Structures are given as structure tokens and as C-alpha cells.
Amino acid sequence: MKFFVDTADVAEIRDLASTGLVDGVTTNPSIIAKSGLNFFDVIAEICDIVDGPVSAEVAATDHETMLKEGQKLAQIASNVAVKVPLTPDGLKTCKVLSDAGTQVNVTLCFSAGQAILAAKAGATFVSPFVGRLDDISRDGMGLIEEICTIYANYETFETEVLVASIRSPNHVIESAQIGADVVTVPPSVLRQLFKHPLTDSGLEAFLSDWAGSGQSILGS
């Protein structure tokens, strides 16, 4: 499973990338707006930090303008994945960009039927939003399982399932159990995956015992 980090915080991305766990980055207009920084500068800097796909989203809603925006975003760096909404115009744009060799992330997916359309349009990634479905008492992880099952039936479907709107480590674990290709997680959730109380207590005991031995690995 690939781990993407869902943020535009360059310092966070740089720190997490140093662990070797980050395979890509996803951003959206809301995340960029909160950063208060120049959109193009942020995307370019992120693309320099990570080798994997960096999703940069179009702001237009009509096909013609979306395509122009997508083509401009793709020029920022070779690892930009243009993010388009799962709408008729978004899928038209996905088809043109994909045919030209640009990675495309089709976002705001909330049904298996939509995911099928994204795959047929040649999307590199489809992003089902599990947290937002859970928020309205729908089964977000059930949708992931449904999409993965459908995609596995067709060898011609090369679209990767990118689980988005993740709210907890359990979402990550369940995505892995189902066999999703990618999860995109906020930095806080990725850091939670490191944590376990038994790890903390075990480390504390080891350090206490070592300190009591009076020895030093690096010497005096």
C-alpha cells in the first residue's frame, strides 16, 4: 500500500518524507487556501521534496477551462497529478489529460458507479471519500471494498483506488485489509500509526534498565 500525505504544509511533508514512508502528496483548494501561500510555489516545492505523485486540483468546473488549468498544472513538474472532480466535464478533462500522458486524480467519488466511470476515463487514481460518507451514516469502507472488487474483475482497469477523507488509523488498517492501492492521510493520522501504549511503556522499561547498568553504547 502507498501512503500519500494530505497537506500543503511543506515542513510537515519534509519531516514525514524523511521517514521513507511518504509515496506522494495530495492537496486541494481548501488546504492551499489555509496555507496562505502562492499555489504554484507550494506545489513546485512539494514536487521537489517527494518523487511520487503530487495532486494539484483545478478550480474551474467547465471542461475547456479545466483542461487549460490542468495543462498548466502539469507543467509545474513531471510528478504532478492533476486533480479533477468526478463530473461529466471532469471526466472529459481526465480523458484528454490521461491520453496525453498526464497523471490524473479523479476526486469527490462517492459511489461505485462513479468509480467505474473514472476508470473508463483513464484516471490514474480515483479518490473515494470515506470520512464524508461516514459523516452521513453511510458505510465509507464498504464503498472501498465495492470499488476494489469491481476493479479486480477487469484487467483493463488500471486506475488505483486512493482512499481519501481518512479520519483515523482504523481507516488506514481497513483499507489495507481490503486491498486499496493508496491511502492519503493527514499528518496527524500518519503519526498516530506510530503510537501504541505498550511500545511506550516497553521503551521506558528498556531505557530504565539500561540506565541502571551504567553502560554507554557510544562509550565515555
Is the confidence at residue 108, as pLDDT, over 90?
Answer: yes
User: Would the CA dihedral through 52, 22, 2, 163 be positive or negative?
Assistant: negative
Q: Report the CATH number that the domain containing residue 53 is assigned in CATH.
A: 3.20.20.70
Residue-number span of the structural domain to which 114 is assigned: 2-212
Residue 74 has a pLDDT of: 98
Query: Residue 67 and residue 112: Cα distance in Å, rounded?
Result: 25
Tallying the residues shown for the chain, one arrives at 220
Which grid cell is 136?
A: 452521513
Higher pLDDT, 32 or 121: 121
Residue 154 in any domain: the answer is: yes
Residue 217 in any domain: the answer is: no
| Helix, strand, coil % in the chain, rounded to nearest 5 | 50, 20, 30
**Residue 20 buriedness (CB in 10 A; 0-12 / 13-18 / 19+):** exposed
Residue 121 in any domain: the answer is: yes
Residue 128 in any domain: the answer is: yes
Residue 165 in any domain: the answer is: yes
Residue 218 in any domain: the answer is: no
Residues 130-187: pLDDT tens digits? 999 999 999 999 999 999 999 999 999 999 999 999 999 999 999 999 999 999 999 9
Q: How many domains does the chain have?
A: 1
Catalytic annotation present for 72: no
Residue 89 in any domain: the answer is: yes
What is the pTM (predicted TM-score) of this model? 0.93
Residue 60 in any domain: the answer is: yes
- pLDDT class for 220, splitting at 50, 70, 90? low
Active-site pick, 34, 68, 72, 83: 83
Residues 37-92: pLDDT tens digits? 899 999 999 999 999 999 999 999 999 999 999 999 999 999 999 999 999 999 99
